[in-house]
Amino acid sequence: MPRGTRVILVTGGAGFIGSNFVLDWLAAERTPVVNLDKLTYAGNLENLAGLKNDARHTFVKGDINDRALVAKLLREHRPQAVVNFAAESHVDRSIHGPADFVQTNIMGTFSLLEEARAYWSNLKEAEKSDFRFLHASTDEVYGSLGANDPAFTETTPYAPNSPYAASKAASDHLVRSYHHTYGLPVVTTNCSNNYGPYQFPEKLIPLMVVNAAKRKPLPVYGDGKNVRDWLYVGDHCEAVRLALKRGRPGETYNIGGNAEKTNLEVVNALCAILDEIRPQPHITHHSSLITHVQDRPGHDRRYAMDAGKLRSELGWMPREQFDTGLKKTVQWYLDHMAWVDGVVSGAYRSWIDLNYGRRERA
C-alpha cells in the first residue's frame, strides 16, 4: 500500500462488520476513510456516532452499483485501497428474496471492480503496485462439512448451497478473475460467523439476546446441532487490516475464530450469561425460553475454518476466546437496548414474523 496518509475507500461501512472495521481502522491506522454505504435496513449511521466530528471520516450515502458515484469518489479522494464489505448477507432473506443478493453481491462487486480497474490503470507505477482491492467474503461459499471432515482451507472447492452463498461465490470468482486477467492487485478474505457489537438483530446471537431480554421465545432451527465457527468482529477487523497491508495480491485468506459451536451450544451459553448478569423475575433459567422451530431449507450442517495460512504468512491469531467474547457481546446489547429499539422498525418486525412466526414448532 502507498506510504503516507492517503485515504482508503470502505464500502458497506455502516453495516455490522463494516462499521466495526471503520472504527478499528481509525483507532489503529489513523488514516482517513471515505465510507460509502447505501443505508439499507442493516446499515446504521448510529454505529458511527462516535465519529461525528472526526474529520478523518467522510460518509457518503450511495450504492456500489452507482458507477458514476464510485468513479467520482475514486477520482476525488484517490484512495490507496478499496475495502469491499458491501453485501446482502442474511441467508434467510436470500431464500425469501434472492434478487437483491444477485444485484448487490454480484453486480455491485462487478461495478466496483470495473471502476477500481479504471482508476488503478491510470495511477503512477509506484501507486499501482501499492494499491489494493480487498474483498470480504464468507465461509459459506465452501458449502457444508460432515462431522469429521477437515476444516475449510483456501483450496477447498466452492459448493454454495444458498442464494446468498452462491452470490458471494460469484463475487469471489469475479474478484479472482480481475487479478488474473487484468492484474488488479486484489486480496480476498473468507471469514466465519462474526459476532459482536452493532450486529443487526436478525442474526443468531443478537436475536437471542434481544428476545431473551424481552422474555420472548428463542427460536432455534431444527435440532440446533448445526455447527459454526465463531469469530469476534474485532479479531476479524484486525485480520482484514493485516491482509490489506501485507497480504499477497491474488491470494485468498481464511479468517476463523477457532471456536466451533452448535447453535444450541451458543444459545445455552448465552442463556447462562443472562442468568448470571441479568436475572429476571419468574425465569429461573433463560434456556426455558428456547423453542425449536422448523429448519430452514438447505441449512448447511457444519462450517469450520482453517486459518493456518493467515497465521503462517501474516502472524494473525484471534485474541478473543469465545466465552469472553460472548459475554462482552451480551453485555453490549443489554447496555444498548436504545440502539436496538432504534433499528428494530416495523419492517423488521414484519420480517421476523415472515421468517419465524409462520414456522411450525419442531
Q: How far is CA 290 from the centre of its chain?
A: 26
**Strand 218-221 with 186-191, pairing:** unpaired
CA angle, 286 then 288 then 294, to 5°: 115
Region 21-47: mean pLDDT is 93
Region 325-329: mean pLDDT is 98
Region 154-160: mean pLDDT is 98
Q: Which residues contact 245 (CB under 8 A, 6 or more apart)?
A: 1
Residue 313 pLDDT greater than 80, yes or no: yes
Higher pLDDT, 73 or 90: 73
78: left (phi over 0), alpha (psi -120 to 50) or beta: left
Out of 164, 198, 333, 356, which one is annotated catalytic? Answer: 164
Q: What is the pLDDT of residue 358?
A: 56
Domain ranges of the chain: 8-199+230-260+302-322
Whether 274 contacts 218, CB under 8 Å: no
- Say whether 139 is catalytic: yes
Residue 218 pLDDT greater than 50, yes or no: yes
Question: In this structure, what C-alpha cell is assigned to residue 175?
Answer: 474478484
Query: If pLDDT is split at 50, 70 and 90, which confidence band does 43 have?
Result: confident
Question: In this structure, what C-alpha cell is assigned to residue 121?
Answer: 490503470
What is the C-alpha to C-alpha distance for residues 316 and 313, in angstroms, rounded to an integer? 8
Query: If pLDDT is split at 50, 70 and 90, which confidence band does 3 have?
Result: very low
Region 212-223: mean pLDDT is 95
CA angle, 356 then 359 then 362, to 5°: 115
8-199+230-260+302-322: CATH topology: Rossmann fold (3.40.50)
Residue 362 pLDDT greater than 80, yes or no: no
Give the DSSP letter of residue 2.
-
Question: In this structure, what C-alpha cell is assigned to residue 125?
Answer: 507505477
DSSP 3-state assignment of 357? helix
Query: If pLDDT is split at 50, 70 and 90, which confidence band does 342 have?
Result: confident
Q: Across the chain, what does the average pLDDT equal?
A: 93
Region 282-300: mean pLDDT is 92
Whether 266 contacts 193, CB under 8 Å: no
What is the C-alpha to C-alpha distance for residues 132 and 339, in angstroms, rounded to an integer? 34
193 bridge partner residues: 230
Residue with cell 468513479: 71
Q: What is the pLDDT of residue 356?
A: 45
- Say whether 232 is catalytic: no
User: Which of 83-92, 98-107, 284-293 has the least mean pLDDT?
Assistant: 83-92
Q: Report the candidate in 68, 15, 4, 21 with the shortest Cα–Cα distance to residue 243.
A: 21
Residue 4 pLDDT greater than 50, yes or no: no
Residue 51 pLDDT greater than 70, yes or no: yes
Query: If pLDDT is split at 50, 70 and 90, which confidence band does 319 have?
Result: very high
Out of 63, 92, 115, 140, which one is annotated catalytic? Answer: 140
Query: If pLDDT is split at 50, 70 and 90, which confidence band does 348 have?
Result: very low
Question: In this structure, what C-alpha cell is assigned to residue 286?
Answer: 433463560
Out of 63, 88, 115, 139, which one is annotated catalytic? Answer: 139
Q: What is the pLDDT of residue 41?
A: 78
**Dihedral angle of Cα 47, 48, 52, 56, to the nearest 10 degrees:** 180
What is the C-alpha to C-alpha distance for residues 138 and 172, in angstroms, rounded to an integer? 9
Query: If pLDDT is split at 50, 70 and 90, which confidence band does 100 have?
Result: very high
- Say whether 300 is catalytic: no
Q: Which residues contact 314 (CB under 8 A, 6 or more apart)?
A: 239, 242, 243, 246, 247, 253
Residue with cell 460432515: 146
DSSP 3-state assignment of 30? coil
Region 44-68: mean pLDDT is 95
Q: Which residues contact 113 (CB under 8 A, 6 or more apart)?
A: 133, 174, 175, 178, 184
